[in-house]
Structure 1
Amino acid sequence: MCGRTACALEPSTICAKCQLNLRNNKEIGQPSWHNAPGGQKYYPSYNISPGSFTPVLVSNQFTDTKDKGHSLQCSFQEGKRCVVVVQGFYEWKVGIKKKQPFYFCPSNPDKLLMMAGLFAHNYEKQMYSYTIITTSSKGIMADVHSRMPIILDNDDDIYEWLDPAESNYKQAYQFLTDLADNLDNVSVIKYPVTSQVNNSTYNEPNCIKPITEEEEHKKMTKSYGSSNIMMQFLKRSNKDSTCDQTNPGNNSSYDVSHKNIDAIKKRKQINRIYIYIYISFIFNQKKIFITKHLLNLRLKFWHII
């Protein structure tokens, strides 16, 4: 879970929003931005999928140390802790007919969502990677997914998690346990969003805009409309074709030449249907459904020839 996130902010804005203020009024300087090694860059996106680059906060005392192992346990024991920074994340709720995407984000629109994570550095591939720490779902997440990220809801929690000097890994484990027990009180909201976010290549601002389930239902009904019309048209065409072949009428001149003419007409008709279904595929993305009927049409055409 948490594999699909949104962070469409520029690096300077992210750094400004990540400045921490502690209870004792001690202010920590604004984080500095560093691109990933190897020349890879972060690109703002409303629809970030696994394998893409996501901003993370790390303590500077661990950015250049070598990993002793590649397991999560090694990262945890070595204090390789990070905070995954996003505007929000997506999760899908299983419905009666389809999965409905929901967007989870801070209740304060000026804040970023901070999730506890662990990071590792592969020196051979010059690649940093991270994982988000999850626990059993509570609160608003419980009816959507069985797992949820451990959210750091205030600056003190972020600072304590990032600074290994504050606690060893056993204390850090207890710290995470305490956070997990109180996740039903975090300042996070959820709302349904457009199903267009299902496509990982779709990157538009409306990905994170709320949509009512009624609006989504109307949209899906409209998208299926053209497919239903085509199905009715195909059934009618198949019926007419069957009548023409089995009952050519009293005209005894209905021979091979007439069949060839009918085949040419059928071919023109199939070309029109092919173009229509292809356009329908672009908008509705019904690849399996459409491909199936295209194959059926072609087989019928070859059979006539």
Structure 2
Amino acid sequence: MCGRFTLLADEVKILQEFGINQPIDHYQPSYNIAPGQNVLAIIHDGKEKRAGYLRWGLIPSWANDEKVGYKMINARSETAHEKPSFQRLMARKRCLIVADSFYEWKRDGGEKQPKRIQLGDRELFAFAGLWDKWEHDEQKLFTCTILTKAANPFMQDIHHRMPIILPKGREDAWIEAGEQSPEEAYHFLQALEMEELQAYDVASYVNSAKNNDAECIAPLA
């Protein structure tokens, strides 16, 4: 799964990396992005790519209660093309969720050790995500979820699931304009190559979403 991540890059670097032409409104780096918070995402509106904020925790357009979002921070890529909550989104509401590392907790007996996980050869990357618009009375929310898959050999020692990180050069293909079938989106994800990861231990300070400073990513001595 993916329950926390970071985005520390400056705005100019993000715009350059993902080919965005417009500035990002209210951009703020974060050492400890948690469910329920706004996350930086990129969509294709049919004419161009746009970057903006979505709330992390998907609320399907047909949901009666926004609280469902806290249960839908992740979506299993193996079954998303079949599930009512995600099937329609796999076809036409795909997004990139921008990050530069994520946290995972490795169980060691009765303890859980938080680790910061990064790509081995590049800083910025994008998770494969899905998004939707939810409206109720006069309230309107734009929300998202991160797609996950079975852990690769590196991650298996830490956790049995991991977020899908789109390889460089494949991000645009995930959000390209035009509708795909859910099955086509599924096969796209399953065919992605894996990139090298690296990890190091960080302090349990990161466990609290209230903590959001450089201590979250400081390596344990």
Identify the TM-score tier after normalising by the shorter chain. 0.7 to 0.9
Match runs of 1:43-192 below 5 Å: 43-61=28-46, 69=62, 71-77=85-91, 79-109=92-122, 111-124=123-136, 125-155=139-169, 157-165=170-178, 167-179=180-192, 182-183=193-194, 186-192=195-201
Residue 32 of structure 2 aligns to which amino acid in structure 1? N
Q: Contact 2:120/2:196 (CA < 8 Å) preserved in 1? A: yes
Secondary structure at 1:74 match in 2: helix
Using the alignment, how far apart are the partners of 1:68 and 1:95 within structure 2? Answer: 40
How many residues align structurally? 187
Larger helix fraction of residues: 1
2:214 pairs, out of 202, 205, 208, with 205
Q: Contact 1:18/1:31 (CA < 8 Å) preserved in 2? A: no
Secondary structure at 2:42 match in 1: strand
Using the alignment, how far apart are the partners of 1:132 and 1:57 within structure 2? Answer: 13
Using the alignment, how far apart are the partners of 1:166 and 1:152 within structure 2? Answer: 19
Q: Which has the higher contact order (CA 8 A, sep 6+)?
A: 2
Report Cα offsets for 1:28-51 as digits up to 9, x if no partner: xx342454xxxxx55321011111
**Greater CA radius of gyration, 1 or 2?**
1
Q: Contact 1:75/1:120 (CA < 8 Å) preserved in 2? A: yes
Report Cα offsets for 1:243-291 as digits up to 9, x if no partner: xxxxxxxxxxxxxxxxxxxxxxxxxxxxxxxxxxxxxxxxxxxxxxxxx
Q: Contact 1:69/1:75 (CA < 8 Å) preserved in 2? A: no
Report Cα offsets for 1:166-191 as digits up to 9, x if no partner: 84432221111112xx43xx132211
Q: Structure 2 unaligned segments of length 5 or more: list them.
A: 51-59, 64-84
Q: Contact 1:106/1:187 (CA < 8 Å) preserved in 2? A: yes
Using the alignment, how far apart are the partners of 1:206 and 1:137 within structure 2? Answer: 27
2:79 maps to what in 1?
none
Using the alignment, how far apart are the partners of 1:126 and 1:68 within structure 2? Answer: 10
Identical pairs, percent = 32
The RMSD of aligned alpha carbons is 2.4
Secondary structure at 1:197 match in 2: helix
Report Cα offsets for 1:102-144 as digits up to 9, x if no partner: 11112235x3121111000124422111111111111211111
Using the alignment, how far apart are the partners of 2:184 and 2:15 within structure 1? Answer: 28
2:71 maps to what in 1?
none
Q: Contact 2:103/2:114 (CA < 8 Å) preserved in 1? A: yes
TM-score under structure 1 normalisation?
0.56
Residue 131 of structure 1 aligns to which amino acid in structure 2? T
Secondary structure at 1:82 match in 2: strand
Q: Structure 1 unaligned segments of length 5 or more: list them.
A: 20-29, 36-40, 216-305
